[in-house]
Amino acid sequence: MKKTKNTTTTTNRNKKAEVEALLRGNGFKVTGPRTAILSLFSEKCAPMSAEQIFKKLSPDTGVDLVTVYRTMASFEEKGIMKRIDLHKDAVYFEINGDDTHHHHHIVCNGCGKIEKMEKCPAEPLARTAASHSAHFAEVTAHSLEFFGMCKSCAKH
Amino acid sequence: MKKTKNTTTTTNRNKKAEVEALLRGNGFKVTGPRTAILSLFSEKCAPMSAEQIFKKLSPDTGVDLVTVYRTMASFEEKGIMKRIDLHKDAVYFEINGDDTHHHHHIVCNGCGKIEKMEKCPAEPLARTAASHSAHFAEVTAHSLEFFGMCKSCAKH
DNA sequence: ATCGTTGCAAACACTTTGCAATGTG
DNA sequence: CACATTGCAAAGTGTTTGCAACGAT
């Protein structure tokens, strides 16, 4: 028990240090909302909308929805987060990992479930896409999402 | 002159007939707004937002923006149109051609210019994506867009 | 004549902005 | 202490809904 507790504590301490380092490294002050958001994403690394982030954090931290929007915008600007469109009402955000973590998603048209897809078939094309175009100089990003039906929704 | 005029007239007549057939074939009544929207897309086959469609048609036809939204929604439901996300403020629509016309886009992050990309590297993966997933039964659609800089924006 | 379709006004949902109070470095 | 950051209120923007008038079949 004690061992588990120590391990957990150490992990949390490490995580907290990482989060602070990330913030400082990007010129941010270390504040409650920012720490809470980054921590949330590091423990539950699924795409989330501003509303979802707000609902998760608001009870404990009292953070405002507007602050979530502003924070996500600034994180996106620094490349910490990236926004993705999953054909939902709101924009979703996820941690913008390095190239080795490049991935996409499958979204269920029935229940909205989101699953990660590790394989990216677009990367090779993205690299050469600009050269095939008469008008484009470079391609810096691409979005790729798959839509379908998850097994439980397919059964109706 | 006369020849050109006749050709044009014939073309328009054909186009009108096609549009009406498409509408009737999908159980729609042939009305001004619907005809105008389909005609617009068939002559200018670039993705357009509801606002853009409205701006183009409103002066001549007096069609309402709400009608554009409703029409596009019903067209999408019937598979006549499809909505695409180009990281703009609004949703864009384009004609939903058959599989042989499957394509994607490059969007300029500078000026917003949109270019068609005929090659689709995601199609093979889309076909097998579901089988690679533990939870998904089938993948019915995918979205893939490239973002970058067009040559004139790259020059600043 | 009937029922789908349209236009207008108003409601909505998500996101952004203004500004005074607060907190961090 | 100075300035970035936050919360609250209000405004914006794209899109949807309610409803009565209209129009295609």
Cα–Cα distance between B143 and B91 in angstroms, integer?
13
- Whether the Cβ atoms of residue B147 and residue B105 lie closer than 8 Å to each other: no
Q: Reduced to 3 states, what is the DSSP secondary structure of residue B118?
A: coil
Question: What pLDDT sits at residue A32?
Answer: 97
Mean pLDDT of chain B: 91
Scanning B24-83 for CB atoms below 8 A from A yields none
B146 contacts on A by Cβ (under 8 Å): 122, 126, 129, 139, 141-142
CB A113, CB A98: distance < 8 Å: no
pTM, two decimals, is: 0.89
Q: At what angle do helices B50-61 and B65-77 cross, to 10 degrees?
A: 120
Which of A7, A37, A6 lies closest to A22 in space, CA to CA? A37
Rounded CA-CA distance B40/B114 in Å is 18
CA of A66 to C1' of D10 (A): 13
More confident residue, B56 or B131: B56
What positions of strand D are covered by protein, i.e. any atom < 7 Å from a CB?
Answer: 4-10, 13-18, 23-25
In 3D space, the residue among B83, B145, B151 whose CA is nearest the CA of residue B111 turns out to be: B151
Q: What is the pLDDT of residue B53?
A: 98
Nucleotide nearest to A65 (CA to C1'): D7
- Across B130-147, average pLDDT: 92
Residues in B closer than 8 angstroms to A136, CB to CB, are 106, 108, 115, 148-151
What stretch of H or E contains A35?
A: helix A32-43
Would you tell me which residues 99-118 of chain B have a C-beta closer than 8 angstroms to some C-beta of chain A?
106, 108-109, 113, 115, 117
Q: How many CB atoms lie within 10 A of CB A108?
A: 20
The answer to whether residues A140 and A100 touch, using CB atoms and an 8 Å cutoff, is no
Residue from the list A141, A145, A153 with its beta carbon closest to the beta carbon of B147: A141
- Name the nucleotide nearest B91; use CA and C1': D14
pLDDT at B10 over 90: no
- Give the mean pLDDT of B128-149: 92
Cα B96 to Cα A129, B7, B34, B47, B100, distances in angstroms? 23, 27, 16, 11, 11
More confident residue, B84 or A99: B84
Asked if pLDDT for residue B108 goes beyond 70, the answer is: yes
Which residue of B lies nearest to A120 if distances are taken between CA atoms? B122
How far is the C-alpha of B83 from the C-alpha of B56, rounded, in Å? 19
* pLDDT given at position A6: 55
Predicted confidence (pLDDT) per residue in B49-78, tens digit: 999 999 999 999 999 999 999 999 999 999
**Is B147 in the A-facing interface, judged by CB distances under 8 Å?**
yes
> Tell me: the pLDDT tens digits for B95-106?
998 888 899 999
- Strand-pairing partners, residue B149, are A138
Tokens 């490059």 found at: B106
pLDDT at residue B156 above 90? no
Strand D contacts in A 29-58 (CB under 7 A): 29, 31-34
Residue in A closest to B91 by C-alpha: A87
Please give the pLDDT value at position A1.
Answer: 54
* Strand ranges, E, within chain A: 48-49, 81-84, 92-95, 104-108, 114-117, 136-150
What confidence category does residue B8 fall into, taking pLDDT thresholds of 50, 70 and 90? Answer: low
Q: Given the structure tokens 């992990």, which residue do they identify?
A: A11
pLDDT in tens, chain A (156 residues): 544 455 556 667 688 899 999 999 999 999 999 999 999 999 888 999 999 999 999 999 999 999 999 999 999 999 999 999 999 999 999 999 888 889 999 999 999 999 999 889 899 889 998 988 899 999 999 999 999 999 999 987
